[in-house]
Amino acid sequence: MNREPAVAGQFYSFDRDSLEKEVKKAFALSGEPKKSERTGRILAAVCPHAGYMYSGSVAAYSYKAIGEDSNPKTFVIIGPNHGGMGPAISVYPSGEWETPLGRIEVDTELAGRIAAGKFELDETAHIYEHSIEVQLPFIQHLFKEFKIVPICVMDQRLSLMKELGSRLAEVLGDGDIVIASTDFSHYVPNNIAYSNDMRAIEAIKSLDEDKLFEEIGKHDISMCGYGGVAAAIAYAKLRGAKEGQLLKYMTSGDITGDKNAVVGYASLVLSR
């Protein structure tokens, strides 16, 4: 089962040379990682998944931090299910994912251990989903030997996300890292996006998934991947995380100049 790129040429460049330039440009603001520290403090990260012209530079902040912190052997990437295909939680079972930068092997053994009677091994939810795919070129740019486990989430109930986080804490090792793929507020005025998104971000920084759900419900925050973020928080706390750190926040209005209806983007890391 080889998964071909679904959004190359839309969210990011279709050909290898152009994509490499695009990723390097995304790192221009944050800088390429120095790869001097190898402490493994970062357990999870939150990254946006819009087109690179909008959120690429924001995503680069998380990947720079990871690159300076460790050399993960497996990236478990949790993305929301935008297309409505597949089961409640779809763990991609095996094979390879392809981008213009090459192919990436799925960690079949780890995928099976994550699913293990609780979640479904399924590829249909991933066929057209972009939220996981757009993370891969950043990882390919920085790391050479790694595997992935893509997890696509349609049912984002808090109880189920805590269950997913608990399972990840049971089976992941020190060489693994969780990436929660999400954008924040969608298509609201810039000042409202900033205000609401900071409420959600403060809950993430506090490692409080219950507070995150409370703020989303109270303020009607249109954050698409909140479930994966909650699972990442639950996982990180069980693995000894002590803090969340906001690395970068922007909105699409910062790029286009149109502040009337924006989408919010943030990069955070959860560390022990």
Q: State pLDDT tens for residues 103-123.
A: 999 999 999 999 999 999 999
At 37 the pLDDT is 63
Give CB contacts under 8 A, 24+ apart, made by 207-210.
207/233, 207/236, 207/237, 207/241, 207/242, 207/243, 207/244, 207/270, 208/233, 209/158, 209/161, 209/162, 209/165, 209/233, 209/234, 210/158
Question: How many separate domains does the chain show?
Answer: 1
Euclidean distance between CA atoms 244 and 260, whole angstroms: 30
At 40 the pLDDT is 84
Euclidean distance between CA atoms 114 and 108, whole angstroms: 10
At 93 the pLDDT is 98
Euclidean distance between CA atoms 174 and 172, whole angstroms: 7
At 36 the pLDDT is 61
At 31 the pLDDT is 85
Domain coverage including residue 145: 2-271
CATH number at residue 238: 3.40.830.10
User: The pTM is what?
Assistant: 0.97
- pLDDT below 50 — which residues of the chain? none
Q: Would you say 44 and 241 are in contact if contact means Cβ atoms under 8 Å apart? A: yes
At 30 the pLDDT is 85
